[in-house]
Copies of this chain bind each other. A is one copy, B any other.
Amino acid sequence: MGATDRRTKVLRASLDLIAENGVRGLRLEDVAERADVALSLIYYHFGNRIDLLRAVFRYANEQAASTDIFAASGRSGYDRLEAGMLGEMRGNSVRANAVVWNELTASAVFEPELRDEVTETTRSWVQGIEDTIRSGQADGSIRADVDPADEAEIVASVLDGLSTRWVSGSISAARARTLLKQAIRQHLAPR
């Protein structure tokens, strides 16, 4: 197994453990065990715990960026946006991603070293939404009189707020999706 493979195994093991137990429960010893590598190798490749968290954040971001959830040929910008966003609140692997994202964002509140990654990841996610809004404005499926950057940040915030309610158990996934759909309609459907 090459260095890149081992590095990827460590990152995947970290993501799985964060999804299961949260950042506060993440011990490097457990990561080593789950990834089946020596603890010294984690220190060698990633330095300390914060450096590992930063690398996990970037890795999660790369994974997310590698599949364009708003791409679907032959559909309007509005439909692609709605389908892509609703897909963020469905299924177990998506739930795990939402949990990891929540955890890393929450950690950044207390660990300023993580803030650049949070800001960058947030920015690229919001940019994808903004691009899809612009494409919907161009094809007439999204109202033309709204600012795409502002609306992208707002609907991304609605999704985050609903997603937190979903993963913490205060509303069902079905209710969260209904409300997200309604929010997107009120913000972006032509009047």
Q: Write the residues of chain A forming the contact surface with B, with a CB cutoff of 8 angstroms.
A: 21-25, 99, 102-103, 105-110, 112, 115, 118-119, 122-123, 150, 153-154, 156-162, 164-165, 167-171, 175, 178-179, 182-183, 186-187, 191
Contacts and interface: CB of A to CB of B under 8 A. Distances in A.
Given A23-B24, A186-B186, A109 B157 contact: no
B157 A165 contact: yes
B170 A150 contact: no
A165 B122 contact: yes
A158 to B, nearest CB: 5
A21 B106 contact: no
Copies in the complex: 2
A169 B21 contact: no
Given A179-B150, A183-B154, A109 B168 contact: yes
Contact of A157 (B22, B25, B162): B162
Contacts of A105: 164, 168
A171 B157 CA distance: 11
Given A153-B179, A154-B183, 14 more contacts: A23-B24, A25-B110, A103-B109, A106-B106, A108-B169, A109-B168, A118-B168, A122-B170, A123-B170, A153-B171, A157-B161, A157-B179, A158-B161, A183-B187
Nearest to A147: B182
23 contacts: A102-B109, A103-B106, A103-B109, A105-B168, A106-B164, A109-B168, A112-B169, A115-B168, A115-B169, A118-B170, A119-B170, A122-B165, A123-B170, A150-B178, A153-B171, A153-B175, A154-B158, A157-B158, A157-B183, A160-B160, A160-B161, A161-B164, A183-B187
